[in-house]
Amino acid sequence: MDLVRAGQLCPHTAQEIARMPGDVQQAFANKVITERLAKSVVERLVSTYNNPGTPREVRKSILEKPKATLSWLAKVEKSRGPKPKEDTDSKSLYRIGVASGQGDLYPYQSSAQGRSSIHSRTLPGTADP
């Protein structure tokens, strides 16, 4: 990228941007420069953009207003809360006595109710449907 040679973009950040589809790389690189985004932020946005499950509206928002989208993504993840640990591997099952027939398979009740998803949140600057 010419932006790296000009000193406007760190090589590592440019490497992350290169993981995006070619038709959006230049526009996203310009936003990264104008919004002064750190490499770790670029990594997060690029990985979200490249995720096949990411809705089109979120991808568009990443390209148009990356900093605001990052804040929105952080709020979505925070509202989800910590991920529950599932005891499905054999070591965990032995630890609670299930594999040996001594324990209850579901000793704790966990519920996914109330969890939000990236699909059910409103993007910054958009109205509720």
Q: What is the mean pLDDT of residues 114-119?
A: 49
CA distance linking residue 28 with residue 15, whole number of Å: 13
What is the predicted pLDDT for the residue at 118? 54
Confirm if 19 and 45 have CB atoms less than 8 A apart. no
CA distance linking residue 79 with residue 74, whole number of Å: 9
What is the predicted pLDDT for the residue at 89? 52
Where is pLDDT greater, at 19 or 114? Answer: 19
pLDDT digits (tens, 9 = 90+) for 20-55: 999 999 999 999 999 999 999 999 999 999 999 999
- Which residues contact residue 29 at a Cβ distance below 8 angstroms, ignoring those fewer than 6 apart? 1, 3, 9, 14, 17
Q: Is 6's pLDDT higher than 80?
A: no
Q: What is the mean pLDDT of the chain?
A: 75
pLDDT tier at 114, thresholds 50, 70, 90: very low
DSSP letter at 26? H
Positive or negative CA dihedral for 16, 18, 24, 25?
positive
The model scores a pTM over 0.95: no
Confirm if 1 and 8 have CB atoms less than 8 A apart. no
Identify the weakest region by mean pLDDT among 5-9, 72-76, 79-83: 79-83
Positive or negative CA dihedral for 69, 71, 76, 77?
positive
Structural domain boundaries in the chain: 2-103
What is the predicted pLDDT for the residue at 99? 45
